Structure 1
Amino acid sequence: MVDDVEEGVSLEKLLEDVNQLAIDQEESLDEFYLTDRKWDIVRESEVERNIILLGSGYKIYTKTWSCAPRQKTRQQLPSLIEAFRIACERLKSAQLRKEAEVLRRCLVIFATTTGAAKERDLLAKIRCRVVFAEEAAEVLEAHILASLVPSVEHLVLIGDHQQLRPNPSVYDLAREYHLDVSMFERLVRNGYPFSTLKVQHRMNPDITENIIRPYFYPELIDDASVLEYPLVPGMEKRCFFWMHEIKMAVELISYLTKQGIGFDE
Structure 2
Amino acid sequence: MNKQPIDNVDPHGQRLAAHEAYWQRFGVHRASRQAELPAMATGSPTLDRQLPGGGYPIGAVTELLCKNAGLGELSLLLHGLARRMREQPKRQLAFIAPPPTLQAPALTQAGIDCARVPLVACRDDSEKVWCVEQMARANAFAGFVVWADHLDTTALRRLQLAAEKAACPVFVYRHIRAAAERSPAALRLAITAGDGGQRIEILKCRGPAGARIAGLQPGVECVWQFETPRAELAALRAGASNDIPQPDRVPHVARSSSSPLGAR
In terms of fraction of residues, the more helix-rich structure is 1
Structure holding more strand per residue: 2
Both proteins in one fold, TM over 0.5? no
Task: Please give the range of the TM-score, normalised by the shorter of the 2 chains.
Answer: under 0.3
Tell me the TM-score normalized by structure 2.
Answer: 0.24
Q: Indicate the structure whose relative CO is greater, using CA pairs within 8 Å and at least 6 residues apart.
A: 2
